[in-house]
Structure 1
Amino acid sequence: TQSLILVLGLFTAYVFGVFEQFSLWFLVFALLLPLLFFFGNDLRIPLILDETTGLSETEHSRMGLLLLFVFVLLLPAGQPVFHETGWDDPLTHQLISPEPATLQEDGTWLSTTEVRVTNPSALMKPYAVSAYLEQPGQAWSISWDCDGEDTYTIDGLGCGSDLLPKRTAFFWMNLTWSGVNQPTMANLSYVVAINGEHEAVPVQVRPSLEVVPASQWYDVPAGSYVHRCIDLNGSLMNSTSLNISTGFTPLDGLQTQLVNIPGESTMEVNLTEVPPQFCLAGLDPMVFDPSMAILHLNNHTFSPSLPERRPLVAHVPAEGWQIATGYPTGWGALFDGEGVLSMDAEHCPLNASLNTPVRPESGPWIWDMNLRTAAQLPSLQPTQNLTLLVPDGANLTLCRDAYNPYPDLSFEVVRGPELMVSWMNSTSRFWTTPWALATNGTLLNTGMTTFTLHNPANETVPFRLDRGGSFGEDWVHNWDGDALSPGDTTFTLTPPDAPLATMWLTYEAGSVVLHLSSYQ
């Protein structure tokens, strides 16, 4: 009986982890073990007897009853079964930046990146992972090696499955460059459908080269000049200097230097450190030849994409855009079709269920983006009018793909008159987009020099000409010298017979400015 009690006590101590942390069992064993070893002789204690004869049934019953009370009282002090609080923990993911792409035997560049999704819960849970490039028109492409994790996708792309409890899913994203020149950097975003929500994780991919340019040039105003710049990434490891030059095809008969590297007399520069950006300075926004997009960094040649000829700028008066149906007061080109219009958003809303702004039963229909920053683009009926109020300096995006975090359209809002422009067979609210380029009197595209500005307001809008370039023959125009009256004003321009002539529109100091330049 003593041996049974000793074994039972040790087993209980093991089950309840007596020696792992302090508990009431320390006191119990401090009393029981001496009695077991030294044979207590107090008959009032019905637990230990120093007799060699067996115990009676009554004594066994009393001893069992005492052990039962001990178990009942001490169970709360140490529980062998713990309450599980993480049985429904959310899925987690490990989405790292893609590995640098390396050159393959077939001339392509390949980056393979492992993606992990972990299920720490006790339930089977679904997930899906995909990725979108910011500029899919370039030579980068995405493919997936799902390794059996192909039950679910996001819009037909990526990998996904039902993940079992306490498991981790592994699969791989492959980024391939198949262009003629060296690969540029590229922005992309993972899109993850996890825990009943969608989220975007932005990353970048680059080739395993010392210095790599971004994927696109961009224009920066610089006083009377325009700088066309590109960001550079990397450091000099195996080279002592960085030689930078661009492709350049001069026009026949042109004596004026239209573009140069700031501070340099040639179109080439040698540097001992990698600058954060490299810029070209142009006399106006139109003089940058497409051949200048080619960028040479030491022995490597890159072909970043060019920016739009004219940036999209929405000129919105303080009283907002007055939008109706039909010409010329509708949404205009680029707003055609459905989409989500958002203000100052980091990325497009993913799989969003947004309604159009609420239209009142009576009174004006007003969408104030200070109050509602995102909504479905309203489609107006013939009897409906909408006022769109947007704060000055806001950045708006129009998103049409439900799962793509990158917008179809993005533009800046500045205070200015509400005008509509009809140019090149389309009507748009971005009235500073018309431009023209002519060499030796021949336009780049037919119809570039004819456009109509529509003023829907009851007040005139100041208008002026700005002539630039070198001395020589000027543009021919039909402007009468007056401000833009309410209604339509049509402009017909004829370029001079000069090696290069340019035209574009801006809004400066409260006036619409038509820039006409020619270069000899």
Structure 2
Amino acid sequence: MSDSNAKPIIIADKAWSERQFIGHILARYFTLIEDLGGVNPAWSVLPLEGMEDGDPHISLELANSDLAEIDMCAELFNDEPWAIQITPTPIGLFSMSNKAIMLFWIASFFSTFFVSSNWIESTIGGNYTDKSVLTSALFFYAIPFTGTLALASYLQVSIGKKLGVRLGHILPIPMPLPYFPWPFGVIYAPSVPSMDRIVWPNRRSLALSAIVAPSVLIISGFFCIMLGLWLTPENVTLSQQPNRLSFPLIANLIGSVAFGSESLYLLGAWAHPLALAGLGLMMLGWIYLLPIPGFPGSRILISFVGLEAARSFRWQVTLFLMIAVTGLMFGAFDGHSLWSFLTIYGSLQILLFGSNLRTPRILDDLKPLNEKTGTRLSHFLFVALLLALPSEMPTEMVSDWDDTPEWSIPTSLDLDLNSTGEFYILLDSPALIAQDWSVRGWTNDTYWDLKWQCTSTTNQTLNNGCSGQIQPLSKVKIPLMWASPTDSKMNSSVIEIHLWLQSGSTSSQQTIRIIPNSQVVLDSTNWNWNQNHESPQLCTSILFAEDALPGNVSIIDTATTNTTGDSSLLWTFDGLSSAALIPNELENHTLPLCLNGESGAIHQLSGGLSLRWVSDEGEIYTFTPSVVDSVVTLSSSGQPTMLLSDNEAFTSNSYVLWNAEYTFCRQDLFPRLPGVAFENGSDDGPEWRWDLLFREYGLIPNLANGSLNLTVPAEGWLMVCDDDSPLPSQFWQISSTSDEYSLSMINGQLLNSIITSDSSTEFSLYGGLSFADVELRTHGNVDIDVVLNQSNYSITINQQNGQIVSTSAWLQLDSDGLIELHVASWEIGV
């Protein structure tokens, strides 16, 4: 080509101003209608015809690609019809050095390593110096947690680059304190520079960049939780109160299906560190999605509705209410510090920056998201907020981790006679540790056959019981098999099973009443005695079925013989006008009965005092309740008392228990001898010393050739117990006294009882007390002569030929503290 054919270059007459230069650049893509003036250049424009069908948004992108060469950018506004304003591109956004950023990452790594080590040590056990603790904290928490943040940071920068936006990396903020509500080591992870300071080409780039980090954290966190649960052992021996993890909704749902709801609860109590890392990542990702100014959730909201709409008063009120409702839902107003802080922070951000139209800066805020992108983002946002919904307390101290298992025992059972079956005793453990349990039972009934089915192949007697270990959050069913008596007319009495229950470190005693399904049933196997010796009264109740026939009740002595006489002669019905009764006319089909006895009659029972019910059709039911021994008063001065081998209160191979309130033996004790015996320098053997105020229970030493120096408190109960029963073989209620009869059983203590048919009988008894000042009281319809010596007494009975006489003697303490010797002699047959 020759120089003559070259087109001439047009040169302006004078240099362009900056406004003119920018105007010429915009003229490539827009028709400039009017210069709008102002500090920053602005024009009213129309897109050029033929420029992508006159789309101003495409024209704006092309113009900004040219303006970027001179560090300028154009922002599109609504006008008549459009307006463009030119502003400089922000400078100094990426001023933080890579060295400073790296320091934050290193500090966050060590922070996560420290808090995870502390969490492992306090929850699962171990020590900071243990290699296993340090290894787990490093490889299963610090590396996965910071590594996921690094992955989110890298993907955020990469996607921003593809969208034509330069973004900074995530800057994790360390919190190396083992703070209970947030034990994750990183409290926040913003981008540097803040995304609100970045200039965004359009809403689409803003939305896609904002969604990257939360989605990576939520998805990675979920997989870390599931993998951590899979790595968590099923059983861990806890030694201190654990810090249990409560997982987000999706992890709870899938974990419950995969492991079971109870197993998931247990796994959360000693979860693998990887599960803790996943929980922290999901929590951080979910919080990022909240529409709080400065959070990715706020930028996503802006990308949907636009900056002007999102900063409107209506939206600010809506967002404020959303934050308040979220805080209320998570207990922010109930003292849950994590959600309280987040609610306060979010509310302040909305109040201070919620109406700020300058951030984030979007050059083409007028172009909405396309339908495909908006639909996908809205679906993801809804699913993420719902399925990643955290629990009210992501971590919580388990206060009941070592709670005692609870027994569920029926108080009464209606069982058929002449049949067999079983019922269950349930043990439920709310604790997170395995605990030992045992159950034993006793009853004074000899007709029912009761056995424990400890295993499918092993049965144990009621006394031997069952034992085992209950696992965390589990239940144990202990079957008690029963076989009822066959002779219902003789043995249809309510029986009581006394159970001694041990679970964990606690023990308790409970009673089960078995009520036979019979026409006539005695309410108890024992008489209820009023503890009165001079005017004894025995009470019980007879239970009738609704269709029971009328009949009559009588008192009989089933043990009467020609030589023992009939003890029922000493007893009469109290308040019963007629022995003939109609059961349907009784209240609740129950007949309360009381027998009034003669003085001393309680000591003259031959063991056969019975009630007999005879129906109008001749059916006979006979009941022979037992008489529980008298509650004897033990007089104590609180001073040491010497006990010798002939004291009838104590026998070897048993143990003594003192208690201030109840009269049940404890099966969880391991009694020992009271103290070190020492020789007293004589041939009487060793002397033992025992003060029950300092040692409430202990083995009774063998006093065959020694003595026991015993100090009994001035009040409470003293019991002699055996290893195989919760019911004491002997027990006394202690009464304070200052006299010399300390530690003497003197209230209703039976000295002797005899039955004789001879014309005259004389005998002596050793009472163990000095009778010099004892007051004598006699009772009965037989003449007797009583002679008292210092420590003995003799009784002469003056009886007629053929008389069968029952005589008994007992000691009693009157209201003034004086000791009375009572002698009762009654004719009970010929």
Query: Which TM-score applies when normalising by structure 2?
Result: 0.46
- Equivalent positions of 1:310-459 (< 5 A) are 311=630, 313=632, 316=635, 318=637, 322-326=641-645, 330-332=646-648, 335-343=651-659, 344-357=661-674, 373-380=696-703, 384-389=707-712, 391=714, 394-401=716-723, 404-413=725-734, 418=741, 432-438=750-756, 440-441=757-758, 450-455=763-768
Unaligned segments of structure 2, at least 5 residues: 1-158, 160-206, 223-247, 250-282, 309-355, 366-387, 681-686
* CA distance in structure 2 between the partners assigned to 1:247 and 1:166 by the alignment: 55
1:32 to 279, 299, 303: 299
1:484 counterpart = 2:778: no
Aligned residue in 2 for 1:280: 595
Query: 2:452 corresponds to which letter in structure 1?
Result: W
Aligned residue in 1 for 2:574: 262
Higher relative strand content:
1
Distance 1:173 1:442, change over 3 A: farther
The question of whether the paired residues in 1 share the 8 Å contact of 2:211 and 2:296 is answered with no
2:626 to 300, 306, 312: 306
Single out whichever of 210-219 and 156-165 deviates more from structure 2: 156-165
Distance 1:5 1:365, change over 3 A: same
Partner of 2:299, secondary structure, is helix
* CA distance in structure 1 between the partners assigned to 2:534 and 2:591 by the alignment: 23
* CA distance in structure 1 between the partners assigned to 2:732 and 2:460 by the alignment: 31
Unaligned segments of structure 1, at least 5 residues: 52-74, 422-427
Alpha-carbon displacement from aligned partner over 1:38-96 (angstroms, at most 9, x marks no partner): 67799x97897759xxxxxxxxxxxxxxxxxxxxxxx9x98995346268343523322
Aligned residue in 2 for 1:200: 509
Distance 1:464 1:241, change over 3 A: same
- Equivalent positions of 1:190-229 (< 5 A) are 190-209=499-518, 212-220=522-530, 225-229=535-539
Partner of 1:130, secondary structure, is strand
The question of whether the paired residues in 2 share the 8 Å contact of 1:342 and 1:398 is answered with no
- Per the TM alignment, residue 278 of structure 1 is displaced from its structure 2 partner at its CA by 1.5
1:157 counterpart = 2:464: yes
Aligned residue in 2 for 1:187: 496
- Per the TM alignment, residue 435 of structure 1 is displaced from its structure 2 partner at its CA by 0.5
* CA distance in structure 2 between the partners assigned to 1:221 and 1:345 by the alignment: 17
1:175 counterpart = 2:482: yes
Query: 1:398 corresponds to which letter in structure 2?
Result: V
Alpha-carbon displacement from aligned partner over 1:371-390 (angstroms, at most 9, x marks no partner): 76544434458565524445
Distance 1:154 1:346, change over 3 A: farther
- Per the TM alignment, residue 267 of structure 1 is displaced from its structure 2 partner at its CA by 5.2
Aligned residue in 1 for 2:437: 128
- Per the TM alignment, residue 261 of structure 1 is displaced from its structure 2 partner at its CA by 1.0
* CA distance in structure 2 between the partners assigned to 1:144 and 1:35 by the alignment: 71
Q: Identity percentage over the alignment?
A: 11
- Per the TM alignment, residue 314 of structure 1 is displaced from its structure 2 partner at its CA by 5.1
* CA distance in structure 2 between the partners assigned to 1:515 and 1:430 by the alignment: 13
Distance 1:147 1:518, change over 3 A: closer
- Per the TM alignment, residue 121 of structure 1 is displaced from its structure 2 partner at its CA by 4.0
Alpha-carbon displacement from aligned partner over 1:439-461 (angstroms, at most 9, x marks no partner): x4499xxxx9734225555x723
Query: 1:167 corresponds to which letter in structure 2?
Result: S
Partner of 2:667, secondary structure, is coil
Query: 2:595 corresponds to which letter in structure 1?
Result: L
- Per the TM alignment, residue 132 of structure 1 is displaced from its structure 2 partner at its CA by 1.4
- Per the TM alignment, residue 499 of structure 1 is displaced from its structure 2 partner at its CA by 3.7
Aligned residue in 2 for 1:293: 610
* CA distance in structure 1 between the partners assigned to 2:212 and 2:553 by the alignment: 84
1:103 counterpart = 2:416: yes
Query: 1:272 corresponds to which letter in structure 2?
Result: L
Aligned residue in 1 for 2:446: 138
- Per the TM alignment, residue 511 of structure 1 is displaced from its structure 2 partner at its CA by 2.8
Task: Name the Cα RMSD after superposition.
Answer: 5.2
* CA distance in structure 1 between the partners assigned to 2:362 and 2:428 by the alignment: 55
Partner of 1:434, secondary structure, is strand
- Per the TM alignment, residue 434 of structure 1 is displaced from its structure 2 partner at its CA by 0.7
* CA distance in structure 1 between the partners assigned to 2:713 and 2:798 by the alignment: 37
The question of whether the paired residues in 2 share the 8 Å contact of 1:251 and 1:499 is answered with no
Query: 1:194 corresponds to which letter in structure 2?
Result: S
- Per the TM alignment, residue 347 of structure 1 is displaced from its structure 2 partner at its CA by 1.8
* CA distance in structure 1 between the partners assigned to 2:750 and 2:773 by the alignment: 14
Distance 1:162 1:349, change over 3 A: closer
The question of whether the paired residues in 2 share the 8 Å contact of 1:420 and 1:453 is answered with no
Larger radius of gyration: 2
Single out whichever of 242-251 and 194-203 deviates more from structure 2: 242-251
Alpha-carbon displacement from aligned partner over 1:181-223 (angstroms, at most 9, x marks no partner): 2432222233333223433333322223575420112433669
The question of whether the paired residues in 2 share the 8 Å contact of 1:128 and 1:160 is answered with yes
* CA distance in structure 2 between the partners assigned to 1:501 and 1:295 by the alignment: 25
Query: 2:516 corresponds to which letter in structure 1?
Result: P
Partner of 1:32, secondary structure, is helix
Q: Stretches of 4+ moved more than 6 A in 1?
A: 10-18, 21-24, 39-42, 44-49, 77-80, 152-156, 249-254, 359-366
Aligned residue in 1 for 2:401: 88
* CA distance in structure 1 between the partners assigned to 2:748 and 2:533 by the alignment: 23
1:112 to 416, 422, 433: 422
